[in-house]
């Protein structure tokens, strides 16, 4: 931690800061400069809350040097964490699994058709919401437990691993009975009660980045899961809120190499939410693989024009088949491989 | 709803859109233009999900004309809703109540000192967190139930109404036993399980705007509360995430008159979170009252430099006393009154 | 400047950083920490470009401690700069001048009617564009030199000081012949050629904040003017680009006290552009004065519904008269005064 | 254009809007709805400024249906525009040219070393600034005319096409004498005087997206060039301002397929500015090609640690060589080709 003093700070001001640091059990190290003095806090393990220091007379700014997260950092664990959600479906290695399926589970016919189509095209996991966080209370909220049962049925029929969202503590326990991987959605990225519950349950978690979350916020939310002993965490970039409404969201693909430098956790990309428009999913899925994504999430619906939610961003089965073929070529071009048989 | 066709859309494309609209039970109204045709959906009650229309051939864009929210709108209820959280503490009328207190309840001595100080200065409600949503799992998370008991004690001692945050369903029921008004924080603004629970409990709710929430998002989250039958809802502007980190947040005071045009619900402002810096709280609290805020939330700590959280943005009791005096003058200048005895 | 080393940086890495600093003529000061070492650059006068340091092995981050601006800073000049654009029209003191008028100069009748109306209501300066920066090449671009002549006429008729925009070097010289204060618009805030020209001309400049400019960016652009010897600079907050399109812009009133802490230059606010909607101008003008603005800019048009640009955010003369009366009361409540006779 | 009426608008309000539309020479088409009436303006050619309509009683909102730009749109010209800046260096076709070089021209030795290195690696055009827009007046501002002469020398030595920035009208004419393509930087994207000048000069222009510009803003700025008769325009995505400062900018790769749908102009990507960190340039350049970019701009410096600007984001010649090789493989995977001999 570095305490930057104002240009007109007195020696007494500097001494007061040094005393505050000593009181907390650390060693102050003053650094006089041409314009102003700074005081370093040597040996800080990252837990001192420096904001109160900003109130002392003569203090201009407090700069935090240590990262506030620990177990998620690459420094804590240098090698990649591999997250295995089902046999052969591994995130964080050289292979890139594809998770696909509809936004919502709507009916037995719809989810089975979806599962068969995405499996045939090359997906190794099925996504589909039984519980849907919707901006409006009047929008379709998902089939609930019935939806989970249909996902289980689709798994028995196709062998696909299941990824589905939990929205609260009670739901998380129920979802964990049916799913191979719990999804925590963007709107709940900082729902700390839910994070603690999911951490305790211990099943793999796919944690989506909030729509105005910094990468540090995302890593701190993942830290909640690791702090409960759950290291099987997959991060997901799905687009940020932006001033330009041409696209639904602003897809931040640079987050992929940035997270991979800072953390040992795998990061996947969701070009369906990232762009919000079906005709942009293919180029941006290719871009995500080329950027180094450890997995791809794509919304696919057997009849997008009849979908109960997110129809405009769902691919048809034919479009998805073409997408997987192109992703295979891009993955190969950078020395990786889309998970699954060719 | 208006469906804008592409410039090169064929007559068959337009006919297909008209059929889709008829299928949903509405009347299509084509409007040919110089560059392109648009098709109006007449009689839409706001529940048709037009996103799948965007997939039809020849469709360029779907524009939503109806607001997706209903009960929160000024059109639903033209006169202001008055929210009374305790006798004489009313939001939405001509008087402007001040809610003040520390970020966290830390100890009996601290909360009692805070309560007495803010009461003496002119506050009519006490804020203070027993459950704290913190970005890092290693930061102080609040005293929990013990904190709620201390708030109840402070209420008995001072008569101040209590406003405190609930973070999950279980916590909401517990908070409702002690508090006069449940706070739902910015990070949980789209935690729909919590919103439904708080709607059912029926106690007044102070709902904070999320850090990247549009005003429409905020109103839709409030709609979740009203849809459960709870009309006692106070909205709160507390600053948005911004590219400029000079301030902690970007305090969007224009939200005050905008919400007041669109909705009958009262809206208060929190300049402590809105600015993140103690020395900016006074001018921005004045600005909030001048903009027409229906209440003000201010963080006050007896010893900010020893606060366990948010010390840098907490006022001292002396600063708060000065603030209330200035707010009284500004309120009077615009024909309003700070709640409480002079 | 502080160079934060990676956790796994070697002693050789630290030594290399120290050598680099010595090469530039400064003294390195290593600070070992629990997680990582940091190296301070003592005595930096703010001109060392540390970005190349980020390339050295073992370096995690370079943190700049000194402000990159100098002459605009409060540390360079502790007392407020007073900017006088005409006799009695002074920005930066206790009085708050109001600048008002139409978006564009459209005709002799229109600008004279505007000038008389705003003068009668209490404005002391007239705004109005002769050169208009418009997003579309097909929108009205202003009357040019003819517009400047009409502004001069309005000045002779009413005695109001003239504030009008210059868009390029050639235009700046022409504008300077007619205007009391050159305006540099938001889109040109980082047009450094124009800033240098305006700095050399030496007339007072009103510099508007760009729509995605940080406060530091704004101060650095002002520094271009001061670096040419022109200290008569008024800064202006006029709203930022935001993800919420409910308002045209996000009016950042906190910028007012922030700029006043960091700089000695006066800062005014433009609630017309800041909100983009006529019915929001009154409350947000009040808020700006309450926040401490050193002046207010308001768009007024004799017949807003016939305006050639920005009609939706222009007040009528009657609305403006009411606005000035309310601003007088708010200014008085905080111990200031709207410039001009009561 | 669609005029949405308030729910409580009277018939007289609707009639007034219809009259306004007729006055402008268009045909109003009222569309009564369940909640509210809307009035369509049929036949609008896109030039009516509807903002004043928002002032009429009973009007809630005005929605623009026609695009404000014309000649840049895909509807104006369905096939891609090919921009040829030098023999064999064509943007907008199947081949993807790479433009590379240092941020600034610093010396003869530096620019010649850069040119030879990037040519050897596979670039077909040389970038390098002679005029540098810098946030601070105290930063290195470029060598000016001397820099242009050195670029011309580098062209003679290597045969590379030259792309370099112009910052004002005078500079644009000078740059046009030396360069094959004028660059207009992000900060000047809405400097309309400069756009008009560059449009008149008629040389190919590379127009960078402003850091808070929507895609519509970018296309409108390009429209300024086309409106002057210059169709040889290359657009460039280089990252947007964001709330997350982990990267220097937020690289919006979705802009590539979005622009390609809306416009016939080619769009290139600049991962050096887009990410701001040298180690992120390689993966994000790959992502840009995979997303369909029509060209790539990369900063390369023979000794980045000694660069006078942007050292932290410049690749070394070795890194650039590796990058080009990887880009060749990614381009091939999507059926395109990096311009130049293998």
Q: How much is the mean pLDDT over chain C?
A: 91
Q: Angle CA(C181)–CA(C184)–CA(C187) in degrees, nearest 5?
A: 160
User: What length is written for chain D?
Assistant: 342
Of B213, A240, A189, nearest to D253 (Cα)?
A: A240
pLDDT, residue B245, reads 72
pLDDT of A292 over the 90 cut: yes
Q: Looking at the complex, does the CB of residue A187 fall below 8 Å from at least one CB of chain B?
A: yes
Q: Angle CA(B14)–CA(B19)–CA(B22) in degrees, nearest 5?
A: 130
Of D151, D122, D170, nearest to D298 (Cα)?
A: D122
Q: Is residue B229 left, alpha or beta, with left meaning phi > 0 and alpha meaning psi from -120 to 50?
A: left
pLDDT of C341 over the 80 cut: no
- Chain A residues whose CB is inside 8 A of the B224 CB are 137
Strand ranges across the sheet with C59-63: C27-31, C38-42, C2-5, C59-63
pLDDT, residue C45, reads 57
CB-side neighbour CA atoms (13 Å) of A83: 27
pLDDT of B26 over the 90 cut: no
3 state DSSP class of C298: strand
Which one is predicted more confidently, A313 or C337? Answer: C337
Share above pLDDT 70 across residues of chain A, in percent, rounded to a whole number: 95
- For residue B87, the Cα-to-chain-centroid distance in whole angstroms is 22
pLDDT of B52 over the 80 cut: no
Of C49, C3, C52, C44, nearest to C27 (Cα)?
A: C44
Q: Angle CA(A119)–CA(A82)–CA(A313) in degrees, nearest 5?
A: 40
| CB-based contact B65 D63, cutoff 8 Å | yes
3 state DSSP class of A145: helix
The answer to whether residues A103 and A293 touch, using CB atoms and an 8 Å cutoff, is no
Backbone angles phi, psi at B35, to 5 degrees: -90, -40
| CB-based contact A220 B193, cutoff 8 Å | no
Chain B nearest C-alpha distance from A337 (Å)? 31
Cα distance between residue A106 and residue A115, in whole Å: 13
Q: Which among A20, A47, A188 has the least Cβ separation from residue B191?
A: A188
The answer to whether residues B193 and A168 touch, using CB atoms and an 8 Å cutoff, is yes
pLDDT, residue A151, reads 98
Chain C nearest C-alpha distance from A33 (Å)? 4
The answer to whether residues B17 and B56 touch, using CB atoms and an 8 Å cutoff, is yes
Query: Per-residue pLDDT averaged across B44-51, rounded?
Result: 64
pLDDT, residue C252, reads 96
| CB-based contact A139 B49, cutoff 8 Å | yes
Q: Looking at the complex, does the CB of residue C229 fall below 8 Å from at least one CB of chain B?
A: no
Q: Is residue A130 left, alpha or beta, with left meaning phi > 0 and alpha meaning psi from -120 to 50?
A: alpha
D82 Cβ neighbours under 8 A, 6+ residues apart: D90, D91, D92, D93, D266
Q: Looking at the complex, does the CB of residue C325 fall below 8 Å from at least one CB of chain B?
A: no
| CB-based contact C254 B275, cutoff 8 Å | yes
How many Cβ pairs closer than 8 A exist between chain B and C? 112
> What kind and span of H or E run contains D172?
helix D169-178
pLDDT, residue A44, reads 61
- Chain D residues whose CB is inside 8 A of the C221 CB are 135
Q: Which among A215, A243, A283 has the least Cβ separation from residue D244?
A: A215
pLDDT, residue A45, reads 57
Burial level of D281, CB count in 10 A (0-12/13-18/19+)? buried
Q: Of A210-214, C178-182, D23-27, which has the strongest mean pLDDT?
A: C178-182
Which own/partner pairs from B322-326 qualify as long-range (CB within 8 Å, at least 24 positions apart)?
A: B322/B282, B323/B121, B323/B281, B323/B282, B323/B285, B323/B298, B324/B98, B324/B121, B324/B122, B324/B123, B326/B282, B326/B285, B326/B286, B326/C333, B326/C334
Quote the longest CA-to-CA distance of chain C. Answer: 76
- Chain A residues whose CB is inside 8 A of the C6 CB are 75
Query: Per-residue pLDDT averaged across B223-250, rounded?
Result: 90
Cα distance between residue A218 and residue A267, in whole Å: 11
The answer to whether residues B155 and B124 touch, using CB atoms and an 8 Å cutoff, is no
Of A204, A236, A189, A183, nearest to A90 (Cα)?
A: A204
Q: Looking at the complex, does the CB of residue D56 fall below 8 Å from at least one CB of chain C?
A: yes
Q: Scanning every residue of chain B, which has its alpha carbon at the shortest distance from the alpha carbon of A248?
A: B51
Cα distance between residue A117 and residue A321, in whole Å: 9
Which of B67, B218, B263, B290 best tests the C interface by mutation, with the highest count of C CBs <10 A? B290
Cα distance between residue B70 and residue B49, in whole Å: 16
Which of A13, A16, A23, A51 best tests the B interface by mutation, with the highest count of B CBs <10 A? A51
The answer to whether residues D96 and D268 touch, using CB atoms and an 8 Å cutoff, is no
Q: Which among B38, B42, B242 has the least Cβ separation from residue D65?
A: B38
Helices (H), C73-204: 108-121, 145-158, 169-178, 192-201
Cα distance between residue A92 and residue D187, in whole Å: 39
Residues facing C235 on adjacent strands? C207, C267
| CB-based contact A68 B311, cutoff 8 Å | no
Place of tokens 């700049």: C64
The answer to whether residues B197 and B184 touch, using CB atoms and an 8 Å cutoff, is no
Which of A219, A269, A291 best tests the D interface by mutation, with the highest count of D CBs <10 A? A291
Residue B93: other Cβ atoms inside 10 A: 16
Query: Per-residue pLDDT averaged across B126-133, rounded?
Result: 94
Q: Scanning every residue of chain B, which has its alpha carbon at the shortest distance from the alpha carbon of C244?
A: B214
- Helix then strand then coil, in percent of chain B rounded to 5, is 40, 20, 40
Q: Scanning every residue of chain A, which has its alpha carbon at the shortest distance from the alpha carbon of B308?
A: A49
3 state DSSP class of C77: coil
Query: Per-residue pLDDT averaged across C324-336, rounded?
Result: 98
The answer to whether residues B314 and B304 touch, using CB atoms and an 8 Å cutoff, is yes
Of A263-277, B63-77, B234-248, C12-26, the least confident: B63-77
- Chain A residues whose CB is inside 8 A of the B217 CB are 135
Which of A25, A31, A43, A64 best tests the C interface by mutation, with the highest count of C CBs <10 A? A31
- Chain D residues whose CB is inside 8 A of the B32 CB are 42-43
CA gyration radius for chain B?
A: 23
Q: How much is the mean pLDDT over chain D?
A: 91
Domains and CATH numbers, chain B: 2-63 (3.30.70.1140), 83-338 (3.20.20.70)
| CB-based contact A283 D274, cutoff 8 Å | no
- Helix then strand then coil, in percent of chain C rounded to 5, is 40, 20, 40
**Structure token digits, residue C312:** 């939706």
Q: Looking at the complex, does the CB of residue C42 fall below 8 Å from at least one CB of chain A?
A: yes
Share above pLDDT 70 across residues of chain B, in percent, rounded to a whole number: 95
Burial level of A30, CB count in 10 A (0-12/13-18/19+)? middle
Of C105-109, C278-282, D1-5, D317-321, the least confident: D1-5
The answer to whether residues D171 and C193 touch, using CB atoms and an 8 Å cutoff, is yes
pLDDT, residue B27, reads 80
- Chain B residues whose CB is inside 8 A of the D43 CB are 32-34
Cα distance between residue D234 and residue D260, in whole Å: 12
Q: What is the pLDDT of residues A91-118, one digit of tens each?
A: 999 999 999 999 999 999 999 999 999 9
pLDDT, residue B192, reads 94
Q: Angle CA(D254)–CA(B221)–CA(A237) in degrees, nearest 5?
A: 30
**Structure token digits, residue D341:** 């001999």
Q: Of A15-24, D63-72, D162-171, which has the strongest mean pLDDT?
A: D162-171
B130 Cβ neighbours under 8 A, 6+ residues apart: B104, B105, B142, B143, B144, B145, B146, B147, B148, B150, B151, B164, B165, B175
Q: What is the pLDDT of residues A122-176, one digit of tens each?
A: 999 999 999 998 888 888 889 999 999 999 999 999 999 999 999 999 999 999 9
D265 Cβ neighbours under 8 A, 6+ residues apart: D72, D81, D83, D92, D222, D233, D234, D235, D259
Residue D45 pLDDT grade (very low, low, confident, very high; cuts 50, 70, 90): low
pLDDT of D248 over the 80 cut: no
Cα distance between residue D129 and residue A66, in whole Å: 37
- Helix then strand then coil, in percent of chain D rounded to 5, is 40, 20, 40
Q: What is the DSSP letter of D98?
A: E
CA dihedral (D84, D89, D92, D98) positive or negative: negative
CB-side neighbour CA atoms (13 Å) of D324: 28
Q: Angle CA(A289)–CA(D318)–CA(D132) in degrees, nearest 5?
A: 90
The answer to whether residues B278 and B247 touch, using CB atoms and an 8 Å cutoff, is no
The answer to whether residues D314 and D279 touch, using CB atoms and an 8 Å cutoff, is no
Which one is predicted more confidently, D321 or A36? Answer: D321
Backbone angles phi, psi at A122, to 5 degrees: 130, 5
Interface of A with D in 93-122 (CB under 8 A): none
Of A50-59, A325-334, B282-291, D191-200, the least confident: A50-59
Burial level of B294, CB count in 10 A (0-12/13-18/19+)? buried
**Predicted complex ipTM:** 0.90
């Amino acid at each position: 931690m570095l305490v930057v003093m104002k240009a007109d700070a007195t020696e007494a001001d500097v001494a007061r800061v040094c005393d505050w640091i000593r009181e907390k059990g650390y060693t102050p190290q003053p650094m006089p400069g041409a314009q102003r003095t700074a005081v370093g806090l040597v040996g800080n393990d990252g837990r001192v809350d420096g904001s109160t220091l900003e109130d002392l007379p003569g203090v201009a700014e407090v700069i935090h040097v240590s990262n506030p997260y620990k177990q998620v950092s690459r420094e804590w664990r240098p090698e990649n964490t591999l997250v295995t959600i089902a046999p052969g479906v591994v995130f964080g290695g050289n292979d890139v699994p594809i998770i696909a399926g509809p936004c919502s589970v709507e009916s037995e016919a719809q989810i089975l058709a979806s599962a068969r189509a995405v499996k045939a095209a090359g997906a190794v996991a099925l996504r589909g919401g039984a519980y849907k966080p919707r901006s409006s209370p009047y929008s379709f909220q998902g089939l609930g437990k019935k939806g989970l049962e249909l996902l289980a049925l689709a798994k028995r029929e196709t062998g696909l691993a299941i990824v589905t969202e939990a929205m609260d503590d009670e739901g998380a326990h129920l979802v964990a009975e049916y799913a191979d991987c719990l999804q925590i959605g963007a709107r709940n990225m900082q729902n700390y009660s839910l994070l603690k519950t999911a951490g305790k349950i211990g099943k793999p978690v796919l944690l989506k980045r909030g729509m105005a979350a910094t990468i540090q916020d995302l890593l701190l939310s993942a830290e909640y899961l690791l702090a409960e002993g759950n290291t099987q965490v997959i991060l997901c970039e799905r687009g940020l809120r932006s001033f330009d409404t041409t696209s639904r969201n602003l897809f931040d693909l640079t987050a992929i190499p940035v997270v991979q430098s800072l953390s040992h956790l795998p990061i996947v990309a969701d070009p369906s939410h990232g762009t919000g428009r079906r005709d942009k999913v293919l180029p941006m899925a290719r871009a995500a693989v080329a950027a180094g994504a450890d997995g791809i999430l794509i919304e696919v619906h057997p009849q997008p024009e009849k979908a109960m939610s997110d129809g405009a961003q769902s691919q048809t089965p034919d479009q998805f088949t073409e997408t997987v073929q192109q992703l295979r070529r891009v993955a190969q071009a950078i020395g990786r491989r889309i998970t699954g048989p060719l």
